[in-house]
Structure 1
Amino acid sequence: MLIFWDQRLVFLATPKAGSTAVEVALEPLASLAVQRPPEMKHADAAGFHRHIHPWLTEMTSDHFTTVALMREPLDWVRSWYRFHLRDAQDQDADAERFEDFVQAYLGDSKTLTQGIGTQAAFLTGGDIPVDRIFRYEDMPAFTNFLDEWLDCEISLPRINVPPAADVSLSPGTEASLRQALAADFALYASLV
């Protein structure tokens, strides 16, 4: 999470949606950068509005606009798989197939996504959703927004890239995953 005090802007770091690159590029401009522990770095909309925004509002008597990125839902799960695959390779463990990973995700999504579950829950949970959500796949729109809001040119590095992997699914498993992520797909489709 990055807080830009003077600009009244807060970047909420959606896991597996480019948050590390954004933080590397923007931390020098931020008034406050929360990078540890992961529970605070990846504060969701509900937690931010319940705990942090009231404090900011009390100190400034002003509203802080929230902004975040959202990744295409299937690609988001693929990214989590590659993240777990990298960890398995680091530990010389046998890597599970993507099909098995998705079945495990369908059984208990929060176990495999550091408690996040779904992007829709992260971005819209609670009473107040994130103010501005941009598609991860349309990074120019996001950086143009930041260029204007922060009054400087933003260039994001390409870092924290997980290894390539076979991320094919059987039609039945993909259909089940699409059903489980229905709220994510609806939110993603609404982003212009």
Structure 2
Amino acid sequence: MLIFWDQRLVFLATPKAGSTAVEMALDPLAAVSMPRPDPLKHMAARDYAAHLAPYLHSASGEHFTTVALMRHPLDWLRSWYRFMHRDELDTTQIDSPNQSFEQFIETCLSDQTHRFAGIGKQTDYLTDENGGLLIDRLFRYEDMDSLVRFLEDRLDCAITLPRVNVPPSVETKLRPETEIRLREFLADDFRLYGTIGPEHPPQDS
């Protein structure tokens, strides 16, 4: 999470949606940067609205615009899967490091107490408990240029995003019937994603 005091702007970092690149590019410009631990780096919008937003408003007398990214829901899980197969990741912390993507998704769908189920959904980070959007300016990860233009305008500077956290190339295809079930499971995410622009096809379909 990044807070830009003078510009009354807060960047909330949705996991696995390009947040690290944005934070690396903008960290020198931010009044407050929270790169760790994860509960602060990836503070959910509902936690921000409940705890930090009231303080910022009280201290400044003004509303801080929130901005965030959302990734195509299927690509988001593909990114998590690739992340879990990085060479430097301690695979002893993964229950089944050799799981196929199909098995990984089946696990997420069938066993909500499994470690992978802790990934959750993007709507967990972007909406309230009733599904209401809590972000003022939400951009698609697949349309990063629009986010950059918005930030350049608000921060009055040119922005170049670095290429970081490049995951390994691994197979991430799904059987059609599994994808149907996954789309049902992620219905709220697909619904929200559809409100911020034309739906992009997942990369490996």
Q: Shorter-chain-normalised TM-score: which range? A: over 0.9
Q: So what's the TM-score if we normalise by structure 1?
A: 0.92
Q: Which residue of 2 aligns with 1:120?
A: 123
Which residue, out of 172, 196, 200, partners 1:191?
196
Q: Which residue of 2 aligns with 1:180?
A: 185
1:97-134 per-residue CA deviation (whole Å, 9 max, x = no partner) reads: 00111111123288426x45111221112466111110
Q: Which amino acid aligns with 2:124?
A: A
Q: 1:96 to 1:128 in 2, by over 3 A?
A: closer
Q: Which residue of 1 aligns with 2:203?
A: none
List aligned pairs for 1:1-192, cutoff 5 A: 1-86=1-86, 90-91=90-91, 94-106=97-109, 107-108=111-112, 111-112=115-116, 115-126=118-129, 129-192=134-197
- The count of corresponding residues between Structure 1 and Structure 2 is 191
CA contact (8 A) 1:25 1:154 kept: yes
Deviation at 1:172, TM superposition (A): 1.5
Distance in structure 2 (CA, Å) of the matches to 1:34 and 1:90: 24
CA contact (8 A) 2:127 2:134 kept: yes
User: Higher helix proportion, which one?
Assistant: 1
Query: Which segments of structure 1 move beyond 4 Å, counting only runs of 4 or more?
Result: 87-90
Deviation at 1:35, TM superposition (A): 1.0
Unpaired runs of 5+ residues, structure 2, are 198-205
Distance in structure 2 (CA, Å) of the matches to 1:157 and 1:40: 22
CA contact (8 A) 1:72 1:136 kept: yes
Q: 1:35 to 1:110 in 2, by over 3 A?
A: farther
2:17 alignment partner, SS class: coil
Q: Which amino acid aligns with 1:65?
A: T
Q: CA RMSD in A?
A: 2.0
Identity %, equivalent residues:
53
Q: 1:88 to 1:125 in 2, by over 3 A?
A: farther
Q: So what's the TM-score if we normalise by structure 2?
A: 0.87
CA contact (8 A) 2:85 2:97 kept: no
